[in-house]
Structure 1
């Protein structure tokens, strides 16, 4: 039963990065108090993504202020809210989302504890207001970044654990891209770089939305595992696989052999930006087809894009409405449960190095890593 407030300690444990050279350390830090527009949450599961290690050791040149409590999105429980909260209450289980928007300019956004965004507004908020992330026992977050999870429905009736619910950090990203290009039930979509964490999640989301999926990847063994995982958790799923050769014409012909293709979504990381597979996928599209670029590939435009009225849209993460709808889909039981959905690896705060190392390798559909404070 939710109450107006739960006990909040004066200090709590957090994983703090003072400098890139020193790395993280577990420290006792003051516990923040709620104010207008904010909530204090107790972190239950904090997500670790595959490139967290590269972000915090400086290999990826992401800008963020230091010292900082690391993290990303999390499953959490509200312990206190500001006086302006009208729905959120202490005791509720919530999805704490990492995408922070300025209230007076939603175009100023950043990923909490990952980077500071690209304009003066996002830099101000990331440094001065919402700096610290979810690798902690407690965290202060904007009210609008807390999404209620029906704990009775999800955990008691459907049997999800909070560890399984954390897989939302992967599933939500492709859901945002698929909604952005208006994927419809019955359509055929090509998922590029499908053997990665976000690409694999895109396959799961697309089949749950009722689409036929053609998954592209370089690793034939991982493609076979992906197909088996989806079919086991979603009986009747319509999924095909194409092992990329790196040859533009060959890969395009392999996709075209499956017939009409309505849409493409791609998650290629920047280090593989010269891959030709996305260009091959776009060539396979029908007239009026759509493509969501959620990764980065160079040289995707050719005459076919113009001649066939192809729409290419860039998409960063997702919108608030996407999260609300996704939670409804979860609560309706549309996704698998247990290891048919995800097989998580769980670490303590003190094991952060191992967590980062494992996350870099434990990738692909149905895999995730988390830190439990």
Structure 2
């Protein structure tokens, strides 16, 4: 039988956490008062927390992210509920949950910020991060809004003999990375049998977009600059599921290469900031069919070239998407539960390193080196 979590006693008075006093100082391990549950919140015991490939650049200021300090860093996590506020109706101590980093104002859903990463872009989002929800998940305990504690169905961890999927806690930590592109793909309503261009497709989030799009029943044309990585990506899927195009940097050449597979229904971009000035977005748009859709999710901060006449005459729809909606989380969990989206090493999902809090520097370093498709580095307090 699936083992039951241990009962949770009274919260300890203190806990250990990674603590960032300012961007000019390196984080340190500190003993802090354990957060206490209040209305609308839960206190969770962190089992494993994800490490972004650019985590070091976030917390040393190189990426110019704005966030409150002092701060307990830390992003998405898998945790057990340790205690809940008095208004919790379904969550109970011991429940296994996914910690969703996308925190929204309850009286203004447009006030959005990312837990432990960024204060967002509005007065409301800054108020939330600088106040009630300041600290992230690189700690033994964290205080999280109730709605950001997403229950994980027990069949995910149950063994195959028990009728489950047999995943480990570490396997489940791959879900947050898949959620980001899923939000953009679902936002433009990708349908079974459609063709979607994904670019760039060989990085962590681009690779996740390929996996998710295939799980949604789409054919993918994966764009990237490294033909070796593209070939390896194609080998993971059936021939009919993924095609590849190596970016040349020439708009006409890349557009022709995309059109060789027929008109595409959608174009999904999740470029990093370094892709500013790249021509691939224009090529992706030019390869779309009449009425095609575009999802822009990347980190490019500069303006990009849009073929205005093509967009207008082609009735194309261009949408921006930051992260995902709460209902997207439950939709993706259904793909995982039904086996459409696998979290196993055989499906290319690999935890390349797991570190205790004290070895956070090693975790940050390894995450920067291992930023490919399906690769994950974890901190396990």
SS at match of 1:368: strand
> Match of 1:358?
366
Q: Do the aligned partners of 1:6 and 1:90 also contact (CA within 8 Å) in 2? A: no
> Match of 2:83?
80
> Match of 1:321?
327
> Match of 1:338?
344
Q: Do the aligned partners of 1:347 and 1:370 also contact (CA within 8 Å) in 2? A: yes
Runs of 4+ in 1 over 6 A off after TM superposition: none
> Match of 1:147?
150
SS at match of 1:68: coil
> Match of 1:116?
119
Alignment counterpart, residue 194 of structure 2, candidates 187, 199, 215: 187
Q: Deviations over 1:175-229 (max 9, x none)?
A: 0001100000000000011111110000000000000000000011111222223
Matches within 5 A, 1:245-256: 245-256=248-259
> Match of 2:139?
136
> Match of 2:310?
304
Q: How many Å separate the matches in 2 of 1:153 and 1:357?
A: 30
Q: Do the aligned partners of 1:20 and 1:58 also contact (CA within 8 Å) in 2? A: yes
Q: Do the aligned partners of 1:21 and 1:57 also contact (CA within 8 Å) in 2? A: yes
TM-score of the superposition, structure 2-length normalised?
0.94
Q: Do the aligned partners of 2:215 and 2:335 also contact (CA within 8 Å) in 1? A: no
Q: How many Å separate the matches in 1 of 2:373 and 2:53?
A: 12
- After TM superposition, give the deviation of residue 5 of structure 1 in Å: 5.1
> Match of 2:185?
178
Distance 1:259 1:144, change over 3 A: same
Q: How many Å separate the matches in 1 of 2:60 and 2:158?
A: 36
TM-score of the superposition, structure 1-length normalised?
0.96
Q: How many Å separate the matches in 2 of 1:256 and 1:363?
A: 29
User: Structure 1 residues 296-305 or 131-140, which shifts more?
Assistant: 296-305
Q: Do the aligned partners of 2:25 and 2:60 also contact (CA within 8 Å) in 1? A: no
- After TM superposition, give the deviation of residue 9 of structure 1 in Å: 1.0
SS at match of 1:69: coil
Q: How many Å separate the matches in 2 of 1:355 and 1:285?
A: 40
Q: Do the aligned partners of 1:116 and 1:126 also contact (CA within 8 Å) in 2? A: yes
SS at match of 1:60: coil
Q: Deviations over 1:70-121 (max 9, x none)?
A: 0111011101111111111111110001011011111101001111111111
Q: How many Å separate the matches in 2 of 1:236 and 1:269?
A: 28
- After TM superposition, give the deviation of residue 169 of structure 1 in Å: 1.7
Q: Do the aligned partners of 1:81 and 1:88 also contact (CA within 8 Å) in 2? A: yes
Q: Deviations over 1:134-153 (max 9, x none)?
A: 00010000000011001344
Q: How many Å separate the matches in 2 of 1:97 and 1:249?
A: 41
Alignment counterpart, residue 16 of structure 1, candidates 16, 19, 43: 19
SS at match of 1:107: coil
Structure 2: give runs of 5+ residues left out of the alignment: none
- After TM superposition, give the deviation of residue 358 of structure 1 in Å: 1.3
Alignment counterpart, residue 197 of structure 1, candidates 193, 199, 204: 204
Q: Do the aligned partners of 1:5 and 1:89 also contact (CA within 8 Å) in 2? A: no
- After TM superposition, give the deviation of residue 155 of structure 1 in Å: 4.2
> Match of 2:235?
228
Q: Do the aligned partners of 1:194 and 1:216 also contact (CA within 8 Å) in 2? A: yes
Q: Do the aligned partners of 1:154 and 1:331 also contact (CA within 8 Å) in 2? A: no
Q: How many residues align?
A: 369
In angstroms, what is the RMSD of aligned CA positions? 1.5
